[in-house]
Each structure stands twice: as structure tokens, then as C-alpha cells.
């Protein structure tokens, strides 16, 4: 029983990052009808900035948590700047153009990876954990840092839900995602909503990157693995569906956790791909996707 609970706890904390990552992906698709493969670069840039700025701030005399918080702010700001540039000079012209946005985003991936490698180098960077020690929950152990990560991910998801459900801006974004022409007729500024939605998605990706930095090996290609899993989660859940992204992410995390425990990580990875193929054959729009 303790083992089962350990596996579930592992799945939840792995899934927390996938949820944040895939929410950004699904938001961009929902609002702009584009598939952004460069989303992983916002994630990576934030993680890299945290890995660089955190030790620098610590060397200036900032205490651990404050140095990390300062680094997170820097990482998110840098990712937002990159997102704004990428939207302004790129995706803005490819809304509702799947082929064009695909080519653009793949090109951006290559460009960003090359620039990150050149600027940050290829070696692994390590961020010291902000919260040390392990926590026992009903006999299962989890690192305190991962618990914090999970908590922030849940809070971010709840906040996003509230924004989408209860605010004027959220309603406008949902209207644009359902039917952008009808939304325009209602006087909703679709262009501005698309830009703001893109920035929110970028922020989610950046937050995920900043959270993963203390528990992961930060390299310029960190986002690649999460991008693949994030896309699978979004496809399983349904492109453009926020609840679908959450369900898909937790599903992927469960497969990874159970598969990695019962077999090994390599087989777990294969199982994820096999499952997405099965889901697409049975439900091409995903579990919670619209037609």
C-alpha cells in the first residue's frame, strides 16, 4: 500500500510540471489556433536564467530563498520578453495557420537552442534547492522542494481557472477561442486578447521552468523532453481544452510513474507514445477536446 501511495505521489509531483507546461500550449492553441513548438524555449530560458542569476545573487549576499525568488523574477521577465518578441514579429502573422506556425515554431526552436548553447554553454547547471529535506506523507517520502513545486503548480492552475471563468478578460479569451469572428462582431479586441493570451501561456511555461530548475539538470536542451510530453498531454486531453490539458498531464505522469516503477523509464516512455496513438485512434479530438 505504501508503494502504491509512493507511486501516486510521484505521479502527482511529476504531473504538476506537465500541467503548467501543457496549460500554456493549450492556451495558445485555443486562442490563436497555432501549435507552438517553441513553447519549450520559454521554459528553458527561465530555467537557465534561474541557474545563472541564483548563484550570482547569492554571491552578492542574498539569502537562499530571496536569491531564488529574484532569479525566478528574472527568468520569467526574460521569458516574457522573448515571448513578446516572438509574438510581435512571428506568430501574430500566423494565427489560425497551422502549417505556417508549425514551420515558424520549429525554426524558432533551432534558433533558440543554438543561441542558448552559445550563450549559456552546454554543461549541466545545478540550482541549489530552496527547501531542503524530505517530507513523509502517509508513509511515502517526497522531497520538500517537490512539495513546494506541487503547491505552486496547483495554485497557478487554480488562478488560471479563476481568470478564465470569473474575469471579463477570461470570458473574452474563451469567446475568441470558441469563435473569433463572432467575438470580433461583439467588439472583443481579438488581436489584443491573442497577445495577452500568448503572454499568459509564456508565463506558465516560464513558471514551470523556474520551478523545475532546483530539482533538475538545467541545460539548453531541457525543454525538449518536456515539450514532447507536454504535447502528448495536450493531444490526449484535447487541443484547446484546459481541463483536457490537466487530465492529459496527470495521465502522462501516471504512466511515467507506474511504467518507470514496474518496468523502467525507457519502457515507460514507449508506453506513453503507444497510448497517445491509441487515444488518437479512438478519440481523434482527445479525451475532452471539442470537434
Partner 1 sequence: MAHPSRSFAAASCLVGLFVMGTLVPTHASAAEIIKLGLSVPLSGAAANWGKGGEWLCKQAAQEIAKSGGVKVDGKVYDFECIAYDNKYNAADGTKVAQTLLTRDNVKFIGGSLGTAPVRALQSLSERDGVLLFTTAWGKAIKGPKFPLTFTQMNTVYEISKPLVGYVKQANPGIKTVALLNPNDATGQDVESASRASWEALGVKVVSSDWYERGTTEFQPIAAKIAALKTDAVDLGAAPPPDAGFVFKELKALGWNGVKVVEVGSGAEGILATGHEAAEGVYMGAAMTFDSPATTAKQKALNDGGKAATGESLNAIQIGFYDSVYALKAAMEKAQSIDPKRVAAALPTVTFESFYGKSAFGGAASYGSAQQILVPVLVTQLKDGKLAELQRIAPEELKSR
Q: How far is the CB of 285 from partner 1 (least distance, A)?
A: 28
141 binds partner 1 (CB under 8 A): yes
| Residue span binding partner 1 (CB under 8 A) among the ranges 28-36, 98-106, 138-146, 186-194 | 138-146
Number of residues interacting with partner 1: please give it, by CB under 8 A. 38
* Alpha helical stretches, state H, 141-264: 144-166, 168-178, 180-185, 190-212, 222-237, 242-262
Residue 105: name the closest of 2, 158, 29 by CA.
29
Task: Give the three cell numbers for residue 74.
Answer: 528574472
Of the candidate residues 110, 266, 278, 290, the single one contacting partner 1 (CB under 8 A)? 266
Q: What are the C-alpha distances in Å from 69 to residues 73, 154, 179, 208, 214?
A: 6, 18, 39, 14, 12
Q: How far is the CB of 178 from partner 1 (least distance, A)?
A: 35
Q: Rounded to whole angstroms, how far apart are CA atoms 118 and 129?
A: 26
* 70-81 exposure pattern, b = at least 16 Cβ within 10 A, e = fewer: bbbebbbebbbe
Q: Rounded to whole angstroms, how far apart are CA atoms 23 and 240?
A: 9
Nearer to partner 1, 70 or 259 (CB): 259
Q: Rounded to whole angstroms, how far apart are CA atoms 260 and 285?
A: 28
| Residue span binding partner 1 (CB under 8 A) among the ranges 54-62, 139-147, 189-197, 278-286 | 139-147
Of the candidate residues 197, 209, 260, 286, the single one contacting partner 1 (CB under 8 A)? 260
275 binds partner 1 (CB under 8 A): no
Element holding 136 (H helix, E strand): strand 134-137
**Which DSSP state fits 218?**
B
200 binds partner 1 (CB under 8 A): no
Site for partner 1 in 212-231 (CB under 8 A): 212, 216-217, 219-222, 224-225
84 binds partner 1 (CB under 8 A): no
Q: What is Dmax (Cα atoms) for the chain?
A: 57
| Residue span binding partner 1 (CB under 8 A) among the ranges 38-46, 88-96, 176-184, 265-273 | 265-273
The three-class DSSP label of residue 167 is: coil
Element holding 119 (H helix, E strand): helix 98-120
Nearer to partner 1, 15 or 289 (CB): 15
44 binds partner 1 (CB under 8 A): no
Contact by Cβ (8 Å): 21, 230: yes
Q: How far is the CB of 40 from partner 1 (least distance, A)?
A: 13
Nearer to partner 1, 78 or 149 (CB): 149
x/- mask, partner 1, residues 157-196, rule CB under 8 A, reads ----------------------------------------
Of the candidate residues 73, 143, 147, 175, the single one contacting partner 1 (CB under 8 A)? 143
Q: Rounded to whole angstroms, how far apart are CA atoms 256 and 143?
A: 18
123 binds partner 1 (CB under 8 A): yes
Element holding 140 (H helix, E strand): strand 140-143
Note the residues at the interface with partner 1 (CB under 8 A): 3, 6-7, 10, 13-14, 117, 121-124, 126, 134, 141-143, 212, 216-217, 219-222, 224-225, 256-266, 268-269
Amino acid at each position: 500500500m505504501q508503494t502504491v501511495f509512493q507511486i501516486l505521489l510521484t505521479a502527482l509531483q511529476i504531473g504538476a510540471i506537465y500541467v503548467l507546461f501543457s496549460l500554456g500550449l493549450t492556451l495558445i492553441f485555443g486562442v490563436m489556433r497555432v501549435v507552438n513548438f517553441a513553447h519549450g524555449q520559454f521554459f528553458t530560458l527561465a530555467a537557465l536564467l534561474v541557474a545563472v542569476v541564483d548563484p550570482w545573487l547569492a554571491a552578492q549576499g542574498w539569502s537562499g530563498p530571496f536569491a531564488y525568488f529574484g532569479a525566478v523574477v528574472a527568468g520569467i521577465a526574460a521569458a516574457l520578453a522573448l515571448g513578446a518578441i516572438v509574438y510581435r514579429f512571428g506568430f501574430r502573422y500566423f494565427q489560425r495557420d497551422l502549417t505556417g506556425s508549425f514551420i515558424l515554431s520549429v525554426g524558432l526552436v533551432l534558433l533558440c537552442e543554438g543561441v542558448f548553447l552559445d550563450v549559456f554553454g552546454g554543461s549541466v547547471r545545478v540550482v541549489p534547492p530552496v527547501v531542503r529535506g524530505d517530507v513523509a506523507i502517509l508513509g511515502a517520502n517526497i522531497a520538500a522542494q517537490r512539495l513546494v513545486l506541487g503547491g505552486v503548480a496547483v495554485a497557478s492552475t487554480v488562478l488560471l481557472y479563476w481568470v478564465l471563468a470569473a474575469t471579463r478578460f477570461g470570458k473574452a479569451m474563451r469567446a475568441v477561442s470558441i469563435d473569433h469572428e463572432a467575438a470580433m462582431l461583439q467588439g472583443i479586441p481579438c488581436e489584443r486578447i491573442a497577445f495577452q493570451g500568448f503572454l499568459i501561456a509564456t508565463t506558465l511555461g516560464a513558471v514551470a521552468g523556474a520551478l523545475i530548475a532546483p530539482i533538475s539538470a538545467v541545460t539548453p536542451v531541457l525543454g525538449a523532453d518536456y515539450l514532447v510530453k507536454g504535447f502528448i498531454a495536450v493531444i490526449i486531453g484535447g487541443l484547446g481544452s484546459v481541463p483536457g490539458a490537466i487530465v492529459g498531464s496527470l495521465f502522462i505522469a501516471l504512466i511515467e510513474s507506474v511504467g518507470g516503477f514496474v518496468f523502467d523509464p525507457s519502457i515507460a516512455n514507449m508506453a506513453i507514445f503507444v497510448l497517445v496513438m491509441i487515444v488518437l485512434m479512438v478519440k481523434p479530438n482527445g479525451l475532452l477536446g471539442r470537434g
